[in-house]
Amino acid sequence: MIKEKIRKDIFNVAKQLDIHCNDQFMVEVPNLKTHGDFSSNVAMVNSRLNKLKPMELAEKLADGLKKKKDYRKVEVAKPGFINFFLANSFYHKMLVNIVNAGDTYGSSDYGKKRKVLLEFVSANPTGPLNVVSARAAAYGDTLFRVMTFVGFHAFREFYINDAGNQVDILAESVELRYRELHGERVGEFPPEAYHGEYVRDLAVRLNAQEGSKLFHISEKDRLEKMKLFALEEIHKMQLESLKRFDVTFENWMSEKKLRQEGILEEALSYLAEAKCTYESDDAVWFSSSKFGDEKDRVLIKSDGNPTYFVPDIAYHLTKFQRGFDIIIDVLGPDHHGYVPRLKAAIQALGHDVNKLEIVYLQHINLFEQGQQVKMSKRAGKIITMDELISEVGKDAARYFFIDRKPSSHLNFDLELAKKKSNENPVYYCQYAHARIASILKKAKNDKITLKKFDIKNLKKLDKPDELSIIKHLIDFPGVLILLADNREPHRLASYTYELAGMLHKYYAVHQISDPDNLELSQSRLFLITAIQNVLAISLHLMGISAPKKM
RNA sequence: GCGCCAGUAGCUCAGUCGGAUAGAGCAACGGAUUUCUAAUCCGUGGGUCAGGGGUUCGAAUCCCUUCUGGCGUGCCA
């Protein structure tokens, strides 16, 4: 992290010169190259404190900083900026570090082993995963990979709503299809039932296993059997889809299990102890409005059953009991009205609500030939995650889902994702990686080797584009930390795309491997080795393959 | 009505947390391969950062307000 280094240098010089310096100032990359590799507003921020004009203060600091050998030039500009130009030797030193670090480059102990729970996807076990789940899967998994890489102790968790109303309806839907198989006329399929073709498949498979036997047991037992069968099968389907997407979970939390273990009662009794519940209209209420929710919420319905809210409270209670430092829920946009009451419950239970973070992923619109693909859940006409993966491939799908920041609506262009051309950013990134592999192979054939590489040779790397590539490579660890802190995987997609672009441009202008120019070639091969290393790491963190050949 | 998210080039979006002349890609047009992969590169045009006000040395970024779009606002999950 160069910015940190420069900050430290500034602080040191200020101390030596007896200049007051608070930490409010910034070090950043200016828009214009003529303004240096980095610049700082330190003199402007601290001018009042030192009773000096910004320009005067800047001059003083700059004089001290000029003495450091990592800077080629330190200059002062108009309102009071200090501009830093780094020495080539500094870049070369960093480049060697990058290659030496290998696939650990960018990793750090930044997260200080803080325990992080990432809950995402958590789709109802009532059907195949859809594209929204796919976005959540790509988002959550990439965030997990990066947070782990920068030193957090992260866990992925999938919460299965395998109890309650929805799964009863699922069982009834299977029942109807099962009856149909046995020649019964079930008439119009109820609108609230699950219409998807997979329900029929489930019935067929159940029938293959059990035949008409199920008619000889009570309806209650039969429905229970169907429920278990359907849940098991759908869970396997979802697991399989996620596996195709290279996403796994450390833990699957079952709502049914929470109920069986009495966590719901536990949560309810804590709320009662905290005097946050009361009875009214034959129902039990939670006084969530005490904690900022807009109104109180029902916990136990007048029919004696808990609302879906209760298991959610119980589930979150376990998250806190398990001792996580950071708890991240990745939710769809339709849940944001729900969060205030959840946070109210956490406060009522006496836990630190600040540990809970909610990330809302916005909706996805699929486009095909410029037309939005209309999806209707009722008619069972949805595009599943599996169909999407088959259609565009895992790599493209994961990239496209990560490419936008979570709060943006995502327009997914199916045509573009399938294209194998420069228009498709996924291939653009992968091709850069493959291209390097190809150059390295060629160099090997030409007997240009990198073994026992002498750092002095890197002096040949002095072109502006070479230095800005190295600069970009040096940024990598900082990008990962920024990404982890802000929970914004899209930064990695942009970063990778930019790096790939730099390689392609570099390739177009310079002969990298040239047997007639051994020393220069070795320097350049060293550079592209570093690029390839970083490309491979970023692609891996995004769950995208890094091919050697395309 | 209230709440949340968004509004940046014709389109899709970035913008490193308040910095200097707001950036890419696509689309349009014009160029570049006797070459380490043209799945690539170079060039050209394109902007009232939705509107207005405020905060300060300085605002796409922070505050207020108006407008537009999406979602939410169940004893459904």
Residue A430: CATH number of its domain: 1.10.730.10
pLDDT score at A240: 95
| A227 φ, ψ (degrees, to nearest 5) | -60, -50
Domain count, chain A: 3
Rounded distance between C-alpha atoms, residue A410 and residue A404, angstroms: 7
Query: Which amino acid residue lies closest to nucleotide B36, measuring CA to C1'?
Result: A439
Is residue A137 a part of any domain in this protein?
no
Handedness of CA A204, A209, A213, A214 (dihedral sign): negative
* Burial A97-126, CB ≥16 within 10 A → b, else e: ebbebeeebbbbebbeeeebbbbbbbbebb
- Helical ranges in A17-51 per DSSP H: 42-50
Q: How far is the CA of A293 from the C1' of B2 (A)?
A: 13
Is residue A99 located within the same domain as residue A174?
no
Token pair for residue A5?
A: 């280094």
Is residue A101 located within the same domain as residue A26?
no
Rounded distance between C-alpha atoms, residue A50 and residue A408, angstroms: 44
Is residue A99 located within the same domain as residue A36?
no
Strand pairing category for A115-119 and A153-160 = parallel
Is residue A82 located within the same domain as residue A99?
no
Q: Judge contact between A91 and A472, C-beta under 8 A.
A: no
| A125 φ, ψ (degrees, to nearest 5) | -85, 45
Name the domain boundary from A244, A264, A299: A244
Q: How far is the CA of A224 from the C1' of B42 (A)?
A: 67
| A246 φ, ψ (degrees, to nearest 5) | 65, 35
Rounded distance between C-alpha atoms, residue A353 and residue A346, angstroms: 6
pLDDT score at A81: 87
Q: Which residues contact A508 (CB under 8 A, 6 or more apart)?
A: none
Q: How far is the CA of A160 from the C1' of B4 (A)?
A: 26
Is residue A46 located within the same domain as residue A99?
no
Query: Which amino acid residue lies closest to nucleotide B75, measuring CA to C1'?
Result: A301
Name the domain boundary from A55, A86, A117: A86
CATH number, domain at A61?
3.30.1360.70
Q: How far is the CA of A337 from the C1' of B48 (A)?
A: 36
Q: Name the nt closest to A295 by C-alpha to C1'.
A: B73
Q: Name the nt closest to A486 by C-alpha to C1'.
A: B17
Q: What is the mean pLDDT of each run of 10 residues along chain A (550 residues)?
A: 84 87 79 81 81 84 90 85 90 92 95 95 90 91 96 96 91 93 86 87 94 91 94 95 96 95 95 94 92 90 92 95 95 83 93 90 77 61 83 90 83 79 83 95 85 73 90 91 91 93 92 88 93 96 93
Edge-first strand listing for the sheet containing A277-280: A277-280, A283-286, A297-300
Reported ipTM: the value is 0.91
- Chain B: bases < 7 Å from a protein Cβ: 2-6, 12-23, 25-27, 35-42, 57, 70-77
Query: Which amino acid residue lies closest to nucleotide B4, measuring CA to C1'?
Result: A336
Query: Which amino acid residue lies closest to nucleotide B5, measuring CA to C1'?
Result: A407
Q: How far is the CA of A360 from the C1' of B3 (A)?
A: 15
H-helix or E-strand containing A95? helix A88-101
Is residue A477 located within the same domain as residue A537?
yes
Q: Name the nt closest to A82 by C-alpha to C1'.
A: B20
Q: How far is the CA of A438 from the C1' of B36 (A)?
A: 7
Query: Which amino acid residue lies closest to nucleotide B32, measuring CA to C1'?
Result: A508
Is residue A124 a part of any domain in this protein?
no
Q: How many residues make up chain A in this entry? A: 550
Q: How far is the CA of A16 from the C1' of B19 (A)?
A: 27
Q: Name the nt closest to A510 by C-alpha to C1'.
A: B36
Q: How far is the CA of A41 from the C1' of B58 (A)?
A: 11
Radius of gyration over every alpha carbon of chain A, rounded to an integer in angstroms: 29
Q: How far is the CA of A428 from the C1' of B34 (A)?
A: 27
Is residue A180 a part of any domain in this protein?
yes
Rounded distance between C-alpha atoms, residue A398 and residue A314, angstroms: 32
Distances in Å between the Cα of A448 and the Cα atoms of A234, A303, A458 are: 55, 79, 15
Q: How far is the CA of A33 from the C1' of B21 (A)?
A: 12
Distances in Å between the Cα of A364 and the Cα atoms of A92, A286, A407, A416, A425 are: 44, 34, 11, 15, 19
Q: Judge contact between A549 and A438, C-beta under 8 A.
A: yes
pLDDT score at A382: 66
pLDDT score at A384: 87
Query: Which amino acid residue lies closest to nucleotide B35, measuring CA to C1'?
Result: A511
Is residue A189 located within the same domain as residue A100?
no
| A431 φ, ψ (degrees, to nearest 5) | -65, -35
Is residue A176 located within the same domain as residue A224?
yes
Is residue A100 located within the same domain as residue A183?
no
Is residue A77 a part of any domain in this protein?
yes
Q: Name the nt closest to A282 by C-alpha to C1'.
A: B75
Handedness of CA A335, A340, A345, A349 (dihedral sign): positive
Is residue A14 a part of any domain in this protein?
yes
Is residue A330 a part of any domain in this protein?
no
Q: How far is the CA of A31 from the C1' of B62 (A)?
A: 22
pLDDT score at A80: 82
Name the domain boundary from A244, A264, A295: A244
Q: How far is the CA of A340 from the C1' of B63 (A)?
A: 24
Is residue A461 located within the same domain as residue A525?
yes
Q: How far is the CA of A319 from the C1' of B47 (A)?
A: 48
- Helical ranges in A121-183 per DSSP H: 131-149, 165-181
Query: Which amino acid residue lies closest to nucleotide B18, measuring CA to C1'?
Result: A26
Is residue A359 a part of any domain in this protein?
no
Q: Name the nt closest to A305 by C-alpha to C1'.
A: B75
Rounded distance between C-alpha atoms, residue A13 and residue A64, angstroms: 6
Is residue A100 located within the same domain as residue A68?
no
Q: Name the nt closest to A443 by C-alpha to C1'.
A: B36
Q: Name the nt closest to A298 by C-alpha to C1'.
A: B75
| A278 φ, ψ (degrees, to nearest 5) | -155, 165
pLDDT score at A131: 86
Task: State which residues form the domain around A175.
Answer: 165-244
Q: Name the nt closest to A478 by C-alpha to C1'.
A: B16
pLDDT score at A352: 92
Is residue A31 a part of any domain in this protein?
yes
Q: How far is the CA of A302 from the C1' of B75 (A)?
A: 6
Is residue A33 located within the same domain as residue A96?
no
Query: Which amino acid residue lies closest to nucleotide B24, measuring CA to C1'?
Result: A498
Q: How far is the CA of A83 from the C1' of B18 (A)?
A: 18
Rounded distance between C-alpha atoms, residue A331 and residue A326, angstroms: 16
Q: Which residues contact A24 (CB under 8 A, 6 or more apart)?
A: A45
Q: Name the nt closest to A161 by C-alpha to C1'.
A: B77
Query: Which amino acid residue lies closest to nucleotide B22, measuring CA to C1'?
Result: A31
pTM above threshold 0.90 = yes
Helices A518-541 and A425-445 pack at an angle, to 10 degrees, of 140
Q: Name the nt closest to A407 by C-alpha to C1'.
A: B5
- Collapse the DSSP code of A160 into the 3-class scheme (helix H, G, I; strand E, B; otherwise coil) and give the result: strand
